[in-house]
Amino acid sequence: MKKLAWMTSVAALTLLASCVDMTPQQQGTMSGAAMGAAGGAGIAAIAGGDAWTGAAIGGIAGAIAGNIHGGRQQQQWQGW
């Protein structure tokens, strides 16, 4: 159990550190994909479908929406 906690902690820190040097559009894409995958898996599991399929579809949709939103934020950010 301690090994799993250690590996999870290292993975979380690596992911957090890798987001530091991203543009707003890249951050939007990544966060949109993560939220979409979590939401898609949850909805599919509740509806009785395959959670992996829901996660894949939700992740793709979230990445597209996050990319669009992040691109708009990046345009505003560069305009300052």
For residues 17-44, give the mean pLDDT. Answer: 87
Q: What percent of the chain has pLDDT over 90?
A: 54
What is the phi/psi pair of residue 59, to 5°? -65, -40
pTM for the whole thing?
0.72
Alpha helices in the chain (DSSP H): 2-18, 24-47, 51-79
- How far apart are alpha carbons 37 and 52 in whole angstroms? 9
Q: What is the pLDDT of residue 38?
A: 93
For residues 59-76, give the mean pLDDT. Answer: 93
For residues 1-11, give the mean pLDDT. Answer: 74
